[in-house]
Structure 1
Amino acid sequence: MTETPTPAPAPAPHHPYGTPTTPHVTVRGEAHLEVDPEIAHITITLTARSTDRRTTLDDLTRRNTTTLDLIKTYGDAIEKLETGTLTIRPELTRHGRAERIRAYHGSIQITTTLNDFTTLGELVTRLADNDLTRLDGPWWALRPTSPHHAAARRQAVQEALQRAREYAEALDTRLGALLELNDTGVHAGPHMARAAFSTQAMAYGGAGTEAATDAAPIDLEPVRQTIDAQVEASFTLIPPNLG
C-alpha cells in the first residue's frame, strides 16, 4: 500500500502591516554624494554660406573634415564622436512679385565626449579659433556605469538598516528579518555647466583659416555632480516587551 505523503504546511500569510507576534518596521534610507565628473560633452556646429549651392556644400564638407581630423588627433581622450544633423537651405528674397534664391546656408553638427579635461580646454580653444564655428558646452556628467552610482545605493541601504536598528533599540528589541527592499531611485544631479563660443568669417562666404593657432588653452573648471539614492526597507522585529 502506497502511503500518501503528508502535505507541507502552508506558509504563514504575509501581513503587510505586521501582527502583535511579528511586528514590522518600515524605514527610508537616503544617500547624497557629491563627486567629480568623469566626462564632458561638447557640440560643434559648423556653418557655410555662399550664393552658389555647390560652393556652400564644398565649404561645409571641408570644414567638417578638418574638424573631425583635429578631434581625432586627441586619441583616447575622445570617448565618442558623432555627426548629427546636416542641413543645406536656400535663403529666399523677394524680387518684384516673385521670390528668388539669394544665398545658400549649410550647417552640420558634431558631438564629442571627452574624458580628459585638460585636453578639453585645449580642444575648445583650437576649435573656437576656426571661422563659422559654434561651440556649445561643456556638459559635465558621470558615465552610466560609474561606480559612484553603486556607492550611493550601498550608502542608502546602510542608512535604512541603521534607522531600523535605532527604532528597534528604542523599543528595547532587535531586528528579525528583512521583508522587503525597494529601490525608489538613483538620480544624478543635472549640474551641467554650459559655455558657448562663436566665430564668424568677416567676409561674406569667407573660408577663413582652419589651422590650429598657439592660443592658450581655456581654463574650464569641472562642475561637481550630485547623486541621490533612496530606498525603502521593511524588517520584522522581535516582539518587544512593552509592559
Structure 2
Amino acid sequence: MIIRPILAAALAATAALPALADDIARQDTPAITVSGEAHLSVPPDLAQIDAGVASDAKTARDASAANNAAMAKVLAALKAAGIDDKDYQTSRLSLQPQYERSRDASVSGFRASNRVTVKVHDVAKVASVIDTLVGAGANDVGNIYFTVAEPSKLLDQAREKAVADARRKAEIYAKAAGVTLGQPLAIAEDGAPAPVFRAKTFAAPMAAGAPTPVAQGEETLSITVSVTWAIKAGQ
C-alpha cells in the first residue's frame, strides 16, 4: 500500500531533474555583474508656468465676480501675446471664507482664486510671458518648471553610453582577475529614467516695468543599467 506514494514521489523528482540541472548550469556559469551610468545635460526646450489671480471681497458673490473679471483679462492677454489656446489650461479654482483674528473667528470676507497653467515652447520667451501675466493682473505667479519636450532620443543615447560604461568597468575587473570578458548574459535598467532638474529659478519683478529675470539652467537625463557578463579563463 505504501509503494504507490513512494513511486509517485520518485517519478516527480525524476521529472524535475532537467530543470534543476539547467538552474545549476546557469548558476555555475562564471559571470561578473557591474553597473553602468550615463548622464546627459541638455538645455530645456519647454517651460510650464503656474499663475493666477486672487480676489478678496465681503461676499462670496463679489469675490467670485471680481475674480472672474480679473482672470478674463489674464486669458485675453495670453491670447493677444500669441499663446495657443491648447497651451494654457485652468488648473485650480477656489472660493474660501476668510476669518477674523479673534476669539469668535467670525467670517470677515471671502477669497476667490483662479489659477492657470501655461506651456511655453520657446523658453527664451518665458520672461515676456511672465511679464504679460503680471501686467494683465496676475498676482500669484510661481512654480516654473523647465523640461525637455521629447527626451526619448536623448535617453536612448544615454542607454548606449551606460552599457559602454558597464563594459569598461567589467573589462577592468576581468583584467585585474586574470579572466576574459565574454558575452552579456543579462541587461537590466535600474528604475524608471527620470529627468533631474538642475535649475528652476524665478524672481518676481522688482519694480513696475522691470524685466523679469529667469534662469533656465540645464536638465540632466540619467540612466543606470546592470549588466551581467560571462567570463572565462584568460588566454
Task: Calculate the TM-score normalised by the size of structure 2.
Answer: 0.74
Instruction: For residues 64-112 of structure 1, give each alpha carbon's deviation from its aligned partner in whole angstroms, at most 9, with x where no partner exists.
Output: 22222322345567874221221122334499x9776432211111112
More helix by share: 2
2:20 and 2:85 map into 1 onto residues whose CA distance is 57
How many equivalent pairs are there?
216
Match of 1:161 in 2: 167
1:31-110 correspondence runs (5 A): 31-75=38-82, 80-93=87-100, 101-110=107-116
RMSD (Å), alpha carbons: 3.4
1:65-214 correspondence runs (5 A): 65-75=72-82, 80-93=87-100, 101-131=107-137, 133-143=139-149, 145-170=151-176, 174-185=180-191, 186-195=193-202, 197=204
Instruction: For residues 116-150 of structure 1, give each alpha carbon's deviation from its aligned partner in whole angstroms, at most 9, with x where no partner exists.
Output: 12221111112123446111032222336442222
1:111 and 1:29 map into 2 onto residues whose CA distance is 38
Retained in 1: the 8 A contact 2:182–2:229? yes
Give how far 1:18 is off.
5.3
Give how far 1:60 is off.
1.0
2:80 and 2:218 map into 1 onto residues whose CA distance is 28
1:178 and 1:55 map into 2 onto residues whose CA distance is 69
User: What are structure 1's unaligned runs of at least 5 residues?
Assistant: 1-8, 200-213
2:71 and 2:161 map into 1 onto residues whose CA distance is 46
Task: Calculate the TM-score normalised by the size of structure 1.
Answer: 0.72
Retained in 2: the 8 A contact 1:138–1:192? no
1:231 equivalent in alignment to 2:231: no
Match of 1:3 in 2: none
Match of 2:14 in 1: none
Change (3 A) 1:12 1:108: same
2:165 and 2:27 map into 1 onto residues whose CA distance is 22
1:77 and 1:220 map into 2 onto residues whose CA distance is 22
Q: Once the two structures are aligned, what percentage of the paired residues are identical?
A: 22
Change (3 A) 1:100 1:189: closer
Matching residue's letter, 1:91? Q
1:107 and 1:197 map into 2 onto residues whose CA distance is 19
